[in-house]
Structure 1
Amino acid sequence: MRALPTLALAVLTLIATPAWAILQGSASRDPNGLRRSVVSIESSTGELCSGVIVAPDVVLTAAHCMTDRAAYRVTGLSRAFRQQRFNVAALAIHPTFVPGTTPRTQPGIDLALLKLNRPVGPEFLALDPTQAGRIDVGDGVTIAGFGVLTERARGTARTLRQTNLVSLGPIEVANRVLIVVDRDRLAETAGAGACRGDSGGPILAATQTGYLLYGITSWSSGPLRSRQPSACGGLTAVTPLVEHLGWIASTMRGLSGLNSAWSGN
């Protein structure tokens, strides 16, 4: 399967917003599943994003989720799906990120790392970002997040949902992102994908032994043939981790100390 040849041009004509829930996704109810690694991030101003645990006290998310002058709180789910809350003690935003720009005009890298005030504990599972590989055209991926079930149903946020998408490959508009879409709809008409609340959530590759973390959700758009303005159900744009492992590793060492799980020592 090939990426749509006019995809980059089409993106410029779409409404693209930060991916604030998994549209047409299913609730994640497996106590040994993605609830162990995927968390929600909420600011004191009420903004909601998603993130993924990458060390016992470090969460990876999207940079645009962390630009408010606010306090931030991370919430994970116990085996019984009860909320476990952690405060953000420090954060690092990728140095190329430019605050105040829209997702499709953002020239920098939409990644941020958060240090929590305490480790998440043994109920949770950190996903090693250094194991990230490249996602090729036609590869299947899983996305997960705490966003809304449908674009206008804001009350449906804060439930962990996941869905499976397929890669159309990378595009470069203002920066380089990977585009993933509903396998059946291919972004032509409304289908599954990220929506409001899913920014910062993980893009994963499923294996026989678990999930590999490959990227972070940055923004979403409506379908190419939408008659009404929409920010969901079309393209889901991913910041691929394999291209930024140097910054991730060095920043995690700075946040967690030289004995960090990813320090290489």
Structure 2
Amino acid sequence: MICRRLALVLATAIAAGAPPAHAVVGGATSQDVRGARASTLRVETSRGELCSGAAIAPELVLTAAHCLMGGGAVSVVSLDPRFRTRRHAVVAVLPHPTFVPGTTPRTQPGTDLAMLRLAAPLPTDIVPVTLGGGLWQGESVSMAGFGLSIENNKNTARRLRETRLVNAGNYTTQNTVKVAVDAEGRGESPGAGACRGDSGGPVLRGDIRSRDLVGIVSWSSGPLNSRERRICGGFTAITPIAEHRSWISETAARLLAMGPNPRQLEPQPPSAGYSWWFSR
């Protein structure tokens, strides 16, 4: 269990409106060809939403459901071995059936996961991650994303960055997430963590070269001891993979069975009312 003080801090942050995590503050620019570049993707919508995602198969990307709340066409960007961008069309989107759109974790219940089906397989230099097991408190993890490195500077987004964090335990509001913190700041002082643009980014067990996916970034909040209100560099909330392996596996199989024409699959709207749609 997460410590009582940390739980109180998080409750306060969420009540104040902790936003979804869209970039890595306090992290390092990814430069390793076999590192985060090989599995972390940029997810963009035609309405200006920026998120991150994890390749879990040549034609499938796992991301955060809240990234798709605004609708619009979705595309995915990968980096080649020279870190040049390549854009890939998305033909189908499926959020987790329990997800309900909201503006804060408290008003956004359900599982913050969504899966994207690409029009064609990703290039062979992209190496999909595998679904890992559960996380334990105190475990070291790595995260990567395309978000902001400076909280109030939008120009710092769209560059792949990575950092190491420590899993501090569970936190439950409308759903249960894992909360990771900077190893030194521990969520009390500014440190590394998710920021705007990192939502949907992969959380990997151990080193950034790992292909063991244990979570997807959902939201973030600032540190406890800050003179100004922050939304980054304190706590990184992670939707754990282990609890949702069945949905991921079943959804992957269903999307891969669609064939070349996505419209041949009859859409089944999630119970939460979030629209399943296919791109035109």
The aligned residue for residue 185 of structure 1 is: 185
Mapped contact 1:8–1:173 kept (Cα < 8 A): no
In the TM superposition, residue 8 of structure 1 has moved relative to its aligned partner by 2.5
CA-based RMSD of the aligned residues comes to: 1.7
TM-score, normalised with respect to structure 1: 0.93
The runs of 5 or more residues in structure 2 that have no matched partner are 260-280
Which residue identity does 1:180 align to in structure 2? A
Map 1:19-168 to 2 at 5 A.
19-129=21-131, 132-168=132-168
Which residue identity does 1:68 align to in structure 2? G
Distance in 2 (alpha carbons) for counterparts of 1:46 and 1:95:
24
Q: How many residues align?
A: 256
Q: Secondary structure at the match of 1:23?
A: coil
Distance in 2 (alpha carbons) for counterparts of 1:149 and 1:3:
27
Q: Structure 2 vs 1, CA of residues 151 and 214 (structure 1 numbering), >3 Å: closer, same or farther?
A: same
Distance in 2 (alpha carbons) for counterparts of 1:99 and 1:173:
15
Which residue identity does 2:5 align to in structure 1? T
Q: Structure 2 vs 1, CA of residues 84 and 3 (structure 1 numbering), >3 Å: closer, same or farther?
A: same
Percent identity over the alignment is: 47
Distance in 2 (alpha carbons) for counterparts of 1:30 and 1:161:
11
Q: Does 1:254 align with 2:267?
A: no
Q: Which runs of 4+ in 1 moved over 4 A?
A: none
Which residue identity does 1:70 align to in structure 2? G
Map 1:183-262 to 2 at 5 A.
183-206=183-206, 210-257=210-257
In the TM superposition, residue 7 of structure 1 has moved relative to its aligned partner by 2.4
Distance in 1 (alpha carbons) for counterparts of 2:245 and 2:143:
20
Distance in 2 (alpha carbons) for counterparts of 1:34 and 1:209:
7
Distance in 2 (alpha carbons) for counterparts of 1:212 and 1:103:
26
Distance in 2 (alpha carbons) for counterparts of 1:150 and 1:202:
20
In the TM superposition, residue 103 of structure 1 has moved relative to its aligned partner by 2.2
In the TM superposition, residue 207 of structure 1 has moved relative to its aligned partner by 6.0
Q: Structure 2 vs 1, CA of residues 254 and 23 (structure 1 numbering), >3 Å: closer, same or farther?
A: same
Distance in 1 (alpha carbons) for counterparts of 2:206 and 2:60:
22
In the TM superposition, residue 149 of structure 1 has moved relative to its aligned partner by 0.7
Distance in 1 (alpha carbons) for counterparts of 2:207 and 2:8:
34
The runs of 5 or more residues in structure 1 that have no matched partner are 260-265
